[in-house]
Amino acid sequence: MASPKAFAQRMARHILMGLSLSVFALGIGMIGYRVIENLSWVDAFFNASMIVTGMGPTAQVQSDAGKIFSGLYAIFAFIVYVSNLGIILAPVAHRILHRFHLDENE
């Protein structure tokens, strides 16, 4: 089994990957709201971050294109959220399964 230091490094890498994916998703949302709905950068950030975190949109979407983007972005954000759970929890699950395997061999 990996040492606690190696496990901590693995967790840090996975958390960094999850954060990178979240920042990428946030950037897509900000650009989309900025271009399609003409929101300010601050409002685009606020709206995108609320969707990525699962809180829901804050700005009233006016155009049909904005509504389609908002719906697709919400689906995308949910996929990113679930993926991040898998990315971050994978080392923990691996360690638990490895521990069960060690107990079985002893």
Query: Tens digits of per-residue pLDDT, 37-56?
Result: 999 999 999 999 999 887 87
The amino acid sitting at 97 is L
What is the predicted pLDDT for the residue at 96?
Answer: 86
Using 50, 70 and 90 to split pLDDT, how confident is the model at 105? Answer: low
CATH of domain 4-105: 1.10.287.70
97: exposed, middle or buried (Cβ count in 10 Å: 0-12, 13-18, 19+): exposed
Model confidence at 1: pLDDT above 90: no
pLDDT in tens, 52-99: 887 877 888 889 999 999 999 999 999 999 999 999 999 998 888 877
The predicted model gives 23-39 an average pLDDT of: 95
Contact by Cβ (8 Å): 88, 19: no
Query: Who's near 33: CB < 8 A, 6+ residues apart?
Result: 39, 43, 44, 47, 48, 59, 66, 69
Model pLDDT, residue 54: 79
Given a cut of 80, whether residue 104 has pLDDT beyond it is no
Q: Hey, where are the domains in the chain?
A: 4-105
Taking residues 20-42, report their average pLDDT: 95
